[in-house]
Amino acid sequence: MNIISLEMLRLGMSSLRLHKLRTMLTALGIIFGVAAVICMLSISETASADEMRMIQLLGTQNIVVNSVKPEAEIQVSQGNQQMLAYGITYKDLDIIEKTIPHLDRVVPVKQVAFSVRHRDRKIETNVFGTTPEFFSTVNTEAARGRVLSASDEMKSRSVCVIGADIGELLFGIEDPLGRNVYVTTPSKTAPYTIVGVLDRVKTAGTPRKGVEDRNINMDIFIPFSVAAKQFGDITVRGSSVSREFKRVDLTTLYLAVDSTENVIAVSEIARRTFQLLHEKVDYEIVVPYRTLQLAEKKKQNSQYQLGSIAGISLLVGGIGIMNIMLATVTERTREIGVRRALGAKRLHITIQFLVETAVISMAGGLLGIILGYAGAYAIAHIYKWGDPIVKLWSIGLSFGLSVMIGIFFGMYPAMKAAQLDPIEALRNQ
């Protein structure tokens, strides 16, 4: 059987070498089909990696509660000024810490300013007061220096940790560690010493979304105790002509749950708690674990859709193989008759033609893998997504399909060739 197989392989390869151009044109459908499958699955994987990384940065064991401006504005008097008051309060924080089960910690975040300066450079950014647990909660750490410590919080030190882009914009090539930045508001300017620069948040493309819709690379973090003492609960934004006054005790709360199994249950308890504490919906509850599940399902559906569309091109390639092989059978009818007359069985003829289609589909599959990866890399480069994400299973799937399609669509021409009557085949001119 091994001798027969080797002989059939030799004959099949010899026939393909005699018609190189036809063989290449036959393989083109498979080449582009495999390339399309790999390229489209890579596009889906690479494009969704940005969203998936952002969700994972929030932490799958976290529940994020944000203060949001209500549809019906709540106006309170503050001397001669009217201001908007809404969002999470210190009372909410106290009740949540005491009543909601399965919480490892609750991390408050308070926005206090919208710009900083160093010497003559001033940039628009977001300044947040938070506790040292914030950085481990959102899975980020310092690339240089350190993050905020418990000692900074207890002693109310005027220190800060800056995002990667802040260091480049304010200091250029200079080392920002140990230098001062001035947090500015319409009513106050306060100096803070930089003790750490955060690691750059990288996504599938350019560094973009870090924590929620904020760019953590452009944020500054100071101790929560300092933020509360120096800036209070009232923030002012705008020019001297038009200013917006608002009172928001806490901008965000991170509820770190002890395990992922309890995340959904705790999120429902938190939702009911806020419904009881707030008459108006001036908060938003985000559950990254649930969002991650939805994003994964969305990515999976997208892969199925794109893979199916790309698979059609493989099907077209298979039809092309069958079409060419049928023409080849007609062209080689006399050759088949001679081989049958010399003692070749139908099985031998079938194997010879199947070897040809298998070789074409395998070679087309290998070339398609190279072309697909090159296409994925080119698209990722054009859209600045970074390196393309090509999964090994997508390569294996597309190559396996190409071989199966080649053999399946080559089966009919091979069987038709084997069923030719030897006498009629020899009469063919």
Question: Mean pLDDT per segment of 10 residues, for the chain of length 429 residues?
Answer: 56 68 82 86 77 68 88 52 78 92 92 88 91 89 92 93 90 89 85 92 46 72 90 65 74 89 89 91 86 75 77 82 82 77 78 82 89 87 78 86 86 83 69
CA–CA distance, 36 with 397 (Å, rounded to integer): 12
Residues 385 and 347 grouped into a single domain: yes
Last residue of a domain, one of 248, 281, 314: 281
User: What does DSSP assign to residue 103?
Assistant: E
Confirm whether 59 is domain-assigned. Answer: no
Residues 208 and 255 grouped into a single domain: yes
Last residue of a domain, one of 281, 308, 331: 281
pLDDT for 208: 39
Residues 266 and 375 grouped into a single domain: no
Residues 46 and 187 grouped into a single domain: no
Confirm whether 60 is domain-assigned. Answer: no
List 122's β-bridge partners, or say none.
117
pLDDT for 159: 95
Residue ranges making up the domain that contains 307:
2-54+295-427
Residues 223 and 307 grouped into a single domain: no
Confirm whether 416 is domain-assigned. Answer: yes
CA–CA distance, 221 with 125 (Å, rounded to integer): 11
Confirm whether 290 is domain-assigned. Answer: no
List 117's β-bridge partners, or say none.
122, 182
Residues 303 and 375 grouped into a single domain: yes
pLDDT for 3: 45
Answer yes or no: are the C-beta atoms of 406 and 358 closer than 8 Å. yes
pLDDT for 177: 93
Residues 35 and 11 grouped into a single domain: yes
Domain count, the chain: 2
Tokens linked to 15: 């026939």
pLDDT for 13: 67
CA–CA distance, 29 with 21 (Å, rounded to integer): 14
Residues 229 and 116 grouped into a single domain: yes
Pairing verdict, β 219-223 and 159-162: antiparallel
Residues 299 and 388 grouped into a single domain: yes
CA–CA distance, 20 with 27 (Å, rounded to integer): 11
Confirm whether 63 is domain-assigned. Answer: no
Residues 29 and 105 grouped into a single domain: no
Confirm whether 82 is domain-assigned. Answer: yes
Answer yes or no: are the C-beta atoms of 249 and 255 closer than 8 Å. no
Answer yes or no: are the C-beta atoms of 65 and 109 closer than 8 Å. no
Confirm whether 74 is domain-assigned. Answer: yes
Confirm whether 347 is domain-assigned. Answer: yes
pTM across the whole model: 0.64
